[in-house]
Structure 1
Amino acid sequence: MVRRVLTLVVALVLLVGLAVGSLYLPMPYIVATPGVTVNTVGEFENGPVIRIEGARTYEHDGALSMVTIQYAGGPQRRLNTLEVLTGWLSPNNAVMPEELLFPADRSPEEVSERQTVQMNDSQTNATAAALNQLGIGYEAVPIVADTVEDMPAEGLVEPGDVIVEIDGEPVPTDTGEGDGDQAVGSAAVVDAVSAREPGDVVEMTVDRDGETVEVEITTAEGEDGTAAVGILIADETDFPIDVEISVGDIGGPSAGMMFALGIMDRLSEDGLTGGTRVAGSGTISADGQVGGISGIPQKMVSARRDGAEYFLVAADSCSQVADSAAYGELEVVRVETLDDAVDALETIRTGEGDLPRCES
């Protein structure tokens, strides 16, 4: 009888030990939490976030804040079961598979480098979009970044080639020319190619290390059904002003829209916000398209904590809004373009008109 009791006690202790121990097993998950908020028209780490040279700038009250997410966990420091459960129980946090941020085929260093590149690209796009919105011209030269494997352009053009002409017509590169609706740079090249039927031949003139090279490319059918040649193009931009954006080691593309608005605010005699604190998140393209991003629920919490009254969100991210612990405590405004964001800020500033909501 005594032996049986001892056996049961030992078994119970072992089970309890295993249960407790399992709470500290490493798990392949990360926890996203609300991060820092940075006012793009304010200061960060003892200096202005946006510094502009070559044009008169202005300072205004209010805020146009970018918001961030902090991540706990990852391949270099895996969370245990208890930490994952704690994150899952918090209304402010989100638990997600580690591979969403750290794909198996990329090292943590490669992920960090990619986020840095995305941040730099977002700043360039933000400058281009802001200048476009303000009607300030700049030069955008289309350069081949790479070709797509097994597509027609492979082997015919090379990375670094400058696309000069399409079918004998010069590729426009000056955004200040025309009525402002003309595509320039890479956009002009894409438009010229996609306007054809798959199977048509496109003649391109490229500048390759100072030498003029003529190539003929038979188009194929792209993923969207239009003609395509398989060239990845990047614009080399030459802006009439120097814009420097400093946000420390923050990476990723999601602050693009707020950078563009911050640049516009700095260059505008009349401020965009009228003294209101506005936050937001969304990528930006050079032509002013605002793209969706993840982490909106956590970013809304960050915005609320920072005192924001309004939150600008890309239309593609609207489905995330209702999942935030800050839902109902912020005026959430849906935008698809930089022009939409500017119009929304005018409505906020003047109090006239209606704001587009994610629910509408």
Structure 2
Amino acid sequence: MTLVAALVLLAGLGYGSLLLPMPYLVAAPGVTLNTLGEQEGGEPIIGIEGADDYEHDGSLSMVTVQYAGGPDHRLNLFTLVTAWLSPSQAVLPEELLFPAGRSQEEVAERQTVQMNDSQTDATAAALNQLNIDYEAIPLVAEAVEDMPAEGVVESGDRVLAVDGEPVPTGTSGDDKEQLVGSAFVVEHVGDREVGEPVELLLERDGEETEVELETVEGESGSAAVGILIADDMDFPVDIDISVGEIGGPSAGMMFSLGIIDRLSEESITGGAQVAGSGTITSDGQVGGISGIPQKMVSARRDGAEYFLVAAESCSQVAQSAAYGELDVVRVETLTDAMDALETIREGGDDLPRCE
């Protein structure tokens, strides 16, 4: 009877452990949205006013990852083991998406901000690629606590010059490499030895003021003063991107390509079914993101032939259940992506692929 009772107790404990909530997430293939397509109500995902726009065959799809779990909805061990055994899902530590001390609502708000910022940067990058000029005015969003800029700069300050060198605000279509606005400020502040001071000319309430700040080591290891800075963009074309409740910055590259296609008389895909994922900066740099294995499954499921991926994310490609079923193209810049699409459009095979 003691043995039977012990076995029953062990079985109960084992079963109960399967139902215990665990601090892990499950990542699964999510939805795909063709940036050249329409929303449910018939409106284009990329709406354009103030310029001629065109509709073409083919697709340039952004792809997503669907996450289950989180601090408020933790999954049990049985669900996690099932996901771990699935070839198309992944089990991840909860803190990767929900840092300690942040609620799910705060994370969702942050992802919304990232999505909005990515759309602005995607528009800027696309206009640069098309040689269309615009203005980017660098404004201080806030000063970071316990950093040199705290108490010296204020939200809304416009940065006019760095070390006496005026900040360019107007882009030049003939020079895509020219840094303007906040990109110029960040580059020139960081381009010095840590500890070396920097002089900033600011405009505040219509008056100019010059400040000198000591630099410290920033998160990237370069010199920093603790200013969060963003550009007030003035575009000559009104571009509205609508993707519902999807958040995060990873669709930036595909937004840029979608905008370029809509503003181009000729299709940039040649009718091919293309998907991809990667962040974008206003000067066209494509950055890596997580979730590539699941996003590749989403892309293949919905008919993509090619998948554009940031070079930084190439290490994830072989982990996908769709590995070998998609032609995966490695890109580092928006120009790389455009060159790859030209090769695809012309029927070539000389594409830069993830090794």
Q: For the superposition of Structure 1 and Structure 2, which TM-score range results when normalised by the shorter chain?
A: over 0.9
Q: 1:178 to 1:133 in 2, by over 3 A?
A: closer
- Residue 113 (str. 1) matches residue 113 (str. 2): no
Residue in structure 2 matching 1:32, options 22, 27, 44: 27
Deviation at 1:283, TM superposition (A): 0.5
Deviations 1:14-66 (Å, cap 9, x if unpaired)?
32222222221211111110000100001132231100101000000000000
Equivalent position of 1:3 in the other structure:
none
Q: Which moved more, 1:102-111 or 1:18-27?
A: 18-27
Look up the match of 2:188: 192
Which residue number in structure 2 is paired with residue 246 of structure 1? 242
Q: How does 1:228-243 map to 2 (within 5 A)?
A: 228-243=224-239
- Residue equivalent to 1:16: 11
- 1: distance between equivalents of 2:163 and 2:93? 49
Q: For residue 70 of structure 2, what is the aligned residue in structure 1?
A: 74
What amino acid is the match of 1:277? Q
Q: For structure 1, which segment, 148-157 or 330-339, has the greater mean C-alpha deviation from structure 2 after superposition?
A: 148-157
- The one-letter amino acid of 2:38's match is E
Structure 1 position 198, deviation (Å): 5.2
- Pair 1:281 & 2:277 matched: yes
How many residue pairs align between the two structures? 354
C-alpha spacing 1:27/1:288, structure 2 compared with 1 (3 Å): same
In the superposition, relative to structure 1, how do residues 85 and 222 fare at CA in structure 2: closer, same or farther (>3 Å)?
closer
The question of 1:174 aligning with 2:170 is answered yes
The 1:137/1:178 distance shift into structure 2, 3 A limit, reads same
> Residue 128 of structure 2 contacts residue 173 of structure 2 at CA under 8 Å; is this kept in 1?
no
Partner of 1:137: 133
Q: Please, which moves more after superposition, 191-200 or 21-30?
A: 191-200
Runs (5+) with no aligned partner, structure 1: 1-5
Distance 1:179 1:310 in 2: 30
Displacement of 1:219 in angstroms is 4.3
The 1:321–1:266 alpha-carbon spacing in structure 2 relative to 1, beyond 3 Å, is: same
Name which of structure 1's ranges 13-22 and 68-77 shifts more when overlaid on structure 2: 13-22
Q: Which residue of 2 aligns with 1:41?
A: 36
- Residues 50 and 246 in structure 1, CA contact (< 8 A), matched pair in contact too: yes
Identity among equivalent positions (%) equals 73
For 2:128, what is the secondary structure of its paired residue?
A: helix
Compute the TM-score of the two structures, normalised by the length of structure 2.
0.94
The residue type paired with residue 309 of structure 1 is E
1:331 aligns with 2:323: no
Q: More deviation in 50-59 or 199-208? A: 199-208
Closer, same or farther in 2 for the Cα pair 1:22/1:127, shift >3 Å? Answer: same
Shift of 1:83: 0.6
Q: Do the aligned partners of residues 298 and 178 (structure 1) sit closer, same or farther apart at CA in structure 2, a change above 3 Å counting?
A: closer
In structure 1, distance between residues paired with 2:81 and 2:132: 52
CA distance in 2, matches of 1:221, 1:345: 40
Contact kept? 1:220, 1:229, Cα under 8 Å: yes
Match of 2:254 among 239, 253, 258: 258
Cα distance 1:22–1:173, how it changes in 2: closer, same or farther (>3 A)? same
Report the equivalent of 2:307: 311
Coordinate RMSD, CA, aligned: 2.0
TM-aligned CA deviation for residue 220 of structure 1: 4.9
- Is the alpha carbon distance of 1:189 and 1:319 closer, same or farther for their aligned partners in structure 2, counting shifts above 3 Å? same
Distance 2:110 2:178 in 1: 32
> Whole-Å Cα distance in 1 between the matches of residues 289 and 116 of structure 2?
17
Tell me the distance in 1 between the aligned counterparts of 2:12 and 2:218: 59
Residue type of the partner of 1:36?
Answer: V
Q: For the Cα contact (< 8 Å) 1:38–1:44, is it kept in 2?
A: no
Residues 219 and 8 of structure 1: CA distance in aligned 2, closer, same or farther (over 3 Å): closer
SS in 2 for 1:232: strand
2:25 alignment partner AA: I
- Larger Cα-atom Rg: 1
User: 1:273 is aligned with what amino acid?
Assistant: T
Matched residues in 1 for 2:132 and 2:94: separation?
A: 43
What is the CA distance between 1:73 and its match in structure 2?
Answer: 1.3
Q: Which residue of 2 aligns with 1:60?
A: 56
What one-letter code is carried by the residue in structure 1 that aligns with 2:29? Answer: P
